Amino acid sequence: MAALEKLLEDQTAGDPCSIRKWKRHSLRNLAELLEAQHPVSAPTVARLLRDLDYSPKVNRKHLGESSPDRDRQFQYILRQKRLFLQHGWPVLSIDAKKRELIGWFKNAGTAWCDEPFSVNTYDFPSLAEGIGIPYGIYDPARNEGFVSVGVSGNTAEFAVATVLWWWRTYGRGRYPDVPGLLLLADGGSSNGCRPRLWKYALQTQFVDRTGLAVLVCHYPPGASKWNLVEHALFAHISQNWSGYPLHSYDWMLALIRGTETKTGLKVFARLDRSTYKTKKKISDEQMLEVNLHPRRVFPLWNYQLNPWAYVIQS
C-alpha cells in the first residue's frame, strides 16, 4: 500500500478546487512499475486503489454554462405541480422524441427472435416510407402516456395539436370541470420558451377552443433530463422497441401502445398525418391575440395563457 501511495504521488492529477483526483496510468502499467519492489497483479492494484478512494469513472458532461437560477426554477415548478395536483387539475409533462425513419432500417438494441431481422445496409431517407416524430405527453397523476406520431415536422402547431387531441379524446373525461392545466416543457425546440408560434398556437388552437387556462413552466437550459416525459415515458418506449425495425407506422404505433411497466404505465398513441408548415412566422399583430400573463418569477420560463374572459387565480 505504501509503495503504491508513493508511486501515485507522481502519477496522479487532480482538481485544484475540489478533492477529485485521477491516475494517469492503466492498472497493468502501475503493476509493472511496482514490479521492482513488490510483485503484484493488476486486480490487486485495482483493490488497493479502491482502498485509497479511487474508483472507475466514466466521462461526465459537466463543462459549460449552467443557469444560476436553475434550482430556484426547479422549486417553482415543484410548487406549481403540487398546487395543481392538490386541486385535482391536470399536470402534463410534454416533449418530442427524435424523428425515426419508417422502413426496414436498423434499430439499436437486441430483440428476442428466432432469426435476426434483415434491414437495409444504408439509412437513406429515399428508402423510407416516411418519417415518424413521436410527441409525448405524460400524466404523472395517472401514470399514463400519450403519443402522437407526426409525419411532417416537429413544429409548435404539431405540439399544440397533440395537447388538443389529448384533451378531447382523454383529458376532459378524466378531468371534468377543471379551469385549466399545467404544462411542463423544455426550454427549447417546438415548445420552447422563446418561439412566438408556440404561444400563438397554444392560445388560438387550444385555449380559445377549450376555454381552459394554461400555465406553462419551462425547465432551465440543459435540464431537459429532469422533464418527466423523458424517463417516465420515452425511456420505456425506447426499451420496448429496442432492436425492432420500425418498418411501418402501424408497427411503430403497436410498439408504443404495447409499452408497459411494473408500476402500471399505460400508453395511448395515434398517427397524425397532418402537414405542419415549418419556419412559420408570427407577426406583432398576431401576438396581440395572445392573452399572455408572465409570472413574476422568471417570466420568460413561467407564463399563463388565459381565455379572454377568464383568469385562474393561483
Query: What does the DSSP assignment read for 162-187?
Result: HHHHHIIIIIHHHSTT-SEEEEEE-S
By mean pLDDT, which of 13-22, 152-161, 234-243 is the weakest?
A: 13-22
Distance CA 164, CA 180 (A): 13
Distance CA 95, CA 86 (A): 24
Say what the pLDDT of residue 303 is: 97
Check residues 150 and 41 and name the one with the higher pLDDT.
Answer: 150
Residues 6+ apart with CB under 8 A from 310: 179, 211, 213
| pLDDT beyond 80 at 94 | yes
State the pTM of this model: 0.77
β-pair partners for 132: 100
* Ranges of each domain in the chain: 2-51, 70-305
Distance CA 37, CA 4 (A): 10
- Which grid cell is 273? 398525418
Distances, alpha carbon 36 to alpha carbons 3, 29, 40, in Å: 11, 12, 10
Span 301-312, average pLDDT: 80
Q: Which of 269, 88, 260 is nearest to 166 (CA)?
A: 269
Check residues 191 and 5 and name the one with the higher pLDDT.
Answer: 191
Say what the pLDDT of residue 6 is: 59
| pLDDT beyond 90 at 17 | no
Distances, alpha carbon 185 to alpha carbons 146, 194, 222, 225, 310, in Å: 15, 12, 12, 11, 23
With 0-12 CB in 10 A as exposed, 13-18 as middle and 19+ as buried, what is 96?
buried
Distance CA 163, CA 174 (A): 14
- Which grid cell is 210? 377549450
**pLDDT tens per residue, range 44-68:** 877 877 777 676 765 555 544 567 7
| Mean pLDDT rounded to a whole number for the chain | 86
Residue 111's pLDDT band (cuts 50, 70, 90)? confident
Q: Do residues 246 and 149 lie in contact, with contact meaning Cβ atoms separated by under 8 Å?
A: no
Segment holding 81, helix H or strand E: helix 70-87
For domain 70-305, say whether CATH 1.10.246 is its number. no
Residue 19's pLDDT band (cuts 50, 70, 90)? very low
Count the alpha carbons within 13 Å of 62 in the hemisphere toward its beta carbon. Answer: 3
The single residue listed with the C-alpha cell 438494441 is: 109
Span 184-197, average pLDDT: 92
Q: Do residues 183 and 192 lie in contact, with contact meaning Cβ atoms separated by under 8 Å?
A: no
Helix (H, G, I), strand (E, B) or coil at 7: helix
Distance CA 55, CA 98 (A): 34
| pLDDT beyond 80 at 243 | yes
**Number of residues assigned to the chain:** 314
Say what the pLDDT of residue 23 is: 58
Say what the pLDDT of residue 53 is: 65
Distance CA 236, CA 240 (A): 6
